[in-house]
Amino acid sequence: MKTQLPIALSNKHIHLSQKDLDILFGEGYQLTKMKDLSQPGQYACDEKVDVVGPKGILKGVRILGPVRSNTQFELSISDAFALGVKPMVRNSGDIKGTPGAKLIGPKGEIEISEGIIVAARHIHMHTSDGEEFGVADKDIVSIKIGGERGLVFNNVLVRVSEDFALEMHVDIEEGNAAGIKNGDLVELIK
């Protein structure tokens, strides 16, 4: 069985629905790809928005493409405090009952009623990786980090799909706490 896999740190970013993109950037607007991300078909965009919460503003939040069915803003716990919203750790797409905020783009602004999450740590795996690691979609595993600030991440969701490439994702705070950088290898333990 394989046990080693790469890890990546995720900074704050936003995924927009086409409806919200049209309001923020203009009717029929298309995102501009800046660079591809590790997951197939996902990319960072040139476009950015400002996010305004009850207590503060986060300027220049990068948009990731392509557009999604629902707008979702992923941030760190520190960013949530800076905005003045209650941080809620959730899996991507699970936005029901989460805080909202005002989004400001170059052509308009919108108030989202929900969609702000602290992304739960997770692993993307292609189906062939799932077989090699002996795990299935929605399994919960632990990940061991070596090194000077080594630790074990528990409660890590495994997401297995034909559309994924092998990589663990943690937010910037978790990555910094463990002293890791993008591309470091970590160990899956069950």
Instruction: Report yes or no on whether pTM surpasses 0.75.
Output: yes
120 closest CA partner among 181, 185, 168, 86: 168
Cα–Cα distance for residue pair 167/185, rounded to 1 Å: 9
CA 36-40-43 angle, to 5 degrees, is 30
> 144: which 2 tokens?
């061991």
3-state secondary structure of 7: strand
What percent of the chain clears pLDDT 70, i.e. is strictly above it? Answer: 100
The CB-side HSE value for 91 (13 A sphere, CA atoms) comes to: 10
90-128 residue pLDDT tens: 999 999 999 999 999 999 999 999 999 999 999 999 999
Residue 52 has pLDDT above 90, yes or no: yes
How sure is the predictor about 1, in pLDDT bands with cuts at 50, 70 and 90? confident
